[in-house]
Structure 1
């Protein structure tokens, strides 16, 4: 039995809790999903509990943000549960599907998800640069960054996405995360093998 499995009710409660803290800068559920995708797929896996200030915004320092310890513990159960689901999916090599919410008009933009992913990358900028510098990994990052930059404050950096382009970009997110996860996993395995070989060389003298 997978004790970390999240039910629909769990996700509804997690989304409602985050929405209730939105005024204090907490992430939306869609943004949290993108954030976790970057934490798990990236250079070094970062657990959810290490990133509560980023997740909760100003609510992290607000003792009144949660009614009591039990409410906070339940929130942590839900946050960790979702993180584990993202992690288990990528580690198993299964297809990862981003959590994308529709707005009041029924439109799915993907901006919140991409901005969450970008925030996850910002925790390890130097290591993520390795992906930008690699042809295949850089191509995987392209649709994510295009959506993330669509709401950029600086007009010179802001991207413009047509409806047709958006549909294509959204369809590229799932394979992009898998490709990035494979890129960094291969890189870690290569570095571990080189380190082991160097240690073996030292002991052979």
Structure 2
């Protein structure tokens, strides 16, 4: 099945609470251990947008339900599949607008709880989804992993969402409050990773302006 590509030019409304619940129910009803929940999905979509180029829809959408590229959707009907894809595309559009705007408005879907009147944040599932997307786009990042700003920004995400951590690393997130503190670093980490690519884009724009300006300059006499 060919899935529609994300088009940032289309005007779409953010998901309502009822639509988020519907998306959660659609995911929860799917079989398999590799199906994402809504928190993991949100992290996954964010990382796709943070990466320089969004992969084709047929490559990234099936991974939401644990499938490979072009694998059939496991929903009960074509109508359910269409509705699911519509909701996902609207959510990626909402995240895209947040990333392109003021990062103070960036609102990732972290798991939250209140323990003894204290709000506690846990971004483990969200970060696992983020890393899943980086695995899909690793060819775009392969020359950047060791750059200091990338390595520093990825650390809280990797500690919270990674598997098989070294004992010293696992100790940094082995309690609820440690995970809370680490989770609160993630939004700034996402901004750093997103901004990592902006200077490259700005430089290309400046080069284009320079070329255009040069073409309008008359030759020296």
- Which ranges of structure 2 fall in alignment gaps of 5 or more residues? 1-10
Q: Between Structure 1 and Structure 2, how many residues are aligned?
A: 200
Q: 2:174 aligns with which of 162, 166, 183?
A: 162
Partners of 1:146 and 1:197 lie apart in 2 by 43
Aligned to 2:126: 113
Q: How far does the alpha carbon of each residue in 1:137-180 deviate from its partner, in whole angstroms, 9 at most, with x for none? A: 3211110011122x42x767972313332121110111111121
Aligned to 2:189: 176
Q: 1:30 to 1:182 in 2, by over 3 A?
A: same
Runs of 4+ in 1 over 3 A off after TM superposition: 45-50, 58-63, 105-109, 154-158, 191-205
Instruction: Indicate whether 1:142 and 2:155 are aligned.
Output: yes
Q: How far does the alpha carbon of each residue in 1:96-135 deviate from its partner, in whole angstroms, 9 at most, with x for none? A: 22212359x9975422211111111112224324443222
Contact 1:99 1:113 in 2 (8 A): yes
Q: Secondary structure at the match of 2:180?
A: helix
* Higher relative strand content: 2
Aligned to 2:8: none
* Higher relative helix content: 1
Partners of 1:47 and 1:71 lie apart in 2 by 21
Partners of 2:46 and 2:108 lie apart in 1 by 8
Using the size of structure 1 for normalisation, the TM-score is 0.80
Tell which structure's C-alpha radius of gyration is larger: 2
Q: 1:30 to 1:135 in 2, by over 3 A?
A: same
Higher relative contact order (CA 8 A, sep 6+): 1
Q: 2:65 aligns with which of 24, 39, 56?
A: 56
Using the size of structure 2 for normalisation, the TM-score is 0.74
Contact 2:120 2:180 in 1 (8 A): no
Q: In angstroms, what is the RMSD of aligned CA positions?
A: 3.3
